């Protein structure tokens, strides 16, 4: 028998995680300003879903270069809060109504849920599947020659926006013997070509552009994310966002009175502009700032906290790119880099005999999810 889920609050540090008002810059802030009076969802949840939906809908075109690697506008995040009380699903609903009119078919063709296997994820964005078949002559005899036959046309649009409302279930699936889901998810964040070594799974996907939004509770995170997934590069490919209900709206807000057409049109223009950009660059002031913070961002930290935040510089790079593109700029400015550079050190405390780590999101979210993750061994 499965024990009931304990929904009692987990003790947080004295200072609650708060979203900096500076994060609501430009078009992102204008969108959330329209939505906020009419939703109980937190601004942090609205913001991260706006940024990730925007980056996914653009596609694999603009990028920042880091040595030989290219960082595109796809991103991963998990919004963590107390079941329905955190209004995690509400944030997705509100952001969707802003983006859906821009490209109505995107919701049907490019939005999915139900991550269950690495092979399944590859199949959604697969290349054409080809097969070598023997050639017969007119008499029906084999000629010892072969021809390539396309058995499946594949998926030409490699943009994929995955929303997992029960992300705790996804983590549990990754823990099953033989599951390759974690590895494929990690490769997809890196925009690597995806391929399974399974004999009966010939599908592969080149140039995928995959983003993931997960929703889970503090308790699910505590119970399911073990030290292996934290340390193997899965955990640090995600932004971990703390969400709480922002306000009480007994009558449900008044969305019928809100005209979203102006911000939707601006988002459409920003997406169209972004598709004209290839390599993004920093202006001189932004480059100086990046040089100043790069050492701290890329310096490894010890323990699980270090494992969970080991890709800080890559997340900062992607978020800065998204803010710049929302401003319809081909260069990221020092202002956009200040928006997404971490403010201060991550707090860490100890409770009892278990280790408590702060899963730090990067600014502008300035949120921490505090979870007790038992040490392995």
Q: Can you tell me whether residue 190 is helix, strand or coil?
A: coil
pLDDT at 355 exceeding the cut of 60: no
In this prediction, residue 14 carries a pLDDT of 42
Query: Which residue range forms the structural domain that includes residue 250?
Result: 39-115+158-372
201 inside domain:
yes
> Greater confidence, 84 or 43?
43
Distance CA 92, CA 208 (A): 23
2 inside domain:
no
CA angle 148, 187, 321 (to 5 degrees): 115
25 inside domain:
no
- DSSP letters, 26-89, are HHHHHHHHHHGGG--S-HHHHHHHHHHHHHHHH-S--BEEETTEEE-S--EEEEE-SGGGGTHH
Q: Characterize the bridge pairing of strands 76-80 and 239-242.
A: parallel
Distance CA 66, CA 216 (A): 32
Q: Which residues pair with 371 in a beta bridge?
A: 357
- What percent of the chain is modeled with pLDDT above 70? 80
Q: What value does the mean pLDDT of the chain take?
A: 80
In this prediction, residue 219 carries a pLDDT of 80
- What percent of the chain is modeled with pLDDT above 90? 41
Q: What is the CA radius of gyration of the chain?
A: 22
In this prediction, residue 85 carries a pLDDT of 54
Can you tell me the mean pLDDT for 5-18?
48
14 inside domain:
no
**Domains contained in the chain, number:** 1
In this prediction, residue 377 carries a pLDDT of 36
pLDDT at 17 exceeding the cut of 90: no
pLDDT at 7 exceeding the cut of 70: no
Question: Which range (172-186, 256-270, 334-348, 362-376) has the least confidence?
Answer: 362-376
pLDDT at 343 exceeding the cut of 60: no
CATH number at residue 74: 3.40.50
Label residues 204-235 b or e (16+ Cβ within 10 Å = b): bbeebbbbbbbbbbbbbbbbbbbbebbbebbb
In this prediction, residue 83 carries a pLDDT of 66
Q: Can you tell me whether residue 202 is helix, strand or coil?
A: coil
Q: Which residues pair with 260 in a beta bridge?
A: none
121 inside domain:
no
> Per-residue pLDDT tens for 46-66?
999 999 999 999 999 999 998
Question: Which range (123-132, 147-156, 192-201, 267-276) has the least confidence?
Answer: 192-201
Is the Cβ–Cβ distance between 360 and 297 less than 8 Å? no
Distance CA 236, CA 105 (A): 31
Q: Can you tell me whether residue 256 is helix, strand or coil?
A: helix
Is the Cβ–Cβ distance between 40 and 90 less than 8 Å? yes
> Per-residue pLDDT tens for 197-242?
766 677 899 999 999 999 988 888 877 777 667 667 898 899 888 8
7 inside domain:
no
26 inside domain:
no
In this prediction, residue 15 carries a pLDDT of 53
343 inside domain:
yes
CA distances from 77 to 80, 99, 226, 290 (A): 10, 18, 18, 23
């Amino acid at each position: 028998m499965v024990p009931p889920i304990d929904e009692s609050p987990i003790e947080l540090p004295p200072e609650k995680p708060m979203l900096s008002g500076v994060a609501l810059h430009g078009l992102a802030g204008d969108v959330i300003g329209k939505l906020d009076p009419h939703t109980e969802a937190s601004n942090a949840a609205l913001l991260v879903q706006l940024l990730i939906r925007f980056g996914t809908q653009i596609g694999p075109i603009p990028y920042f270069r880091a040595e030989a690697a290219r960082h595109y506008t796809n991103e991963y995040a998990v919004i963590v809060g107390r079941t329905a009380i955190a209004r995690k699903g509400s944030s997705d609903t509100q952001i969707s109504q802003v983006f859906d009119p821009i490209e109505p078919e995107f919701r049907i063709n490019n939005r999915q849920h139900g991550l269950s296997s690495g092979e399944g994820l590859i199949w959604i964005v697969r290349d054409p599947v080809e097969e070598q078949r023997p050639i017969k002559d007119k008499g029906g005899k084999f000629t010892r020659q072969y021809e390539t036959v396309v058995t499946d046309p594949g998926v030409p649009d490699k943009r994929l926006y995955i929303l997992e409302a029960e992300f705790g279930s996804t983590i549990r699936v990754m823990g099953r013997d033989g599951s390759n889901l974690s590895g494929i998810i990690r490769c997809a964040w890196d925009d690597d070509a995806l391929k399974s070594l399974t004999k009966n799974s010939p599908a592969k996907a080149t140039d995928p552009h995959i983003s993931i939004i997960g929703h889970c509770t503090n308790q699910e995170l505590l119970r399911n994310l073990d030290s292996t997934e934290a340390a193997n590069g899965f955990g640090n490919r995600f932004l971990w966002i703390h969400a709480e209900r922002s306000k009480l709206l007994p009558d449900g807000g008044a969305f019928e009175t809100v005209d979203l057409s102006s911000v939707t049109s601006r988002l459409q223009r920003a997406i169209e502009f972004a598709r004209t950009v290839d390599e993004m660059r920093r202006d001189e002031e932004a480059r100086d700032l990046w040089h100043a913070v790069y050492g701290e961002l890329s310096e490894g930290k010890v323990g699980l906290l270090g494992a969970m935040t080991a890709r800080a510089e890559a997340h900062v790079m992607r978020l800065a790119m998204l803010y710049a593109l929302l401003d319809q700029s081909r260069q990221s400015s020092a202002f956009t880099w200040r928006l997404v550079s971490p403010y201060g050190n991550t707090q860490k405390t100890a409770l009892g005999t278990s280790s408590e780590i702060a899963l730090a999101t990067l600014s502008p979210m300035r949120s921490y999810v505090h979870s007790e993750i038992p040490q392995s061994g």
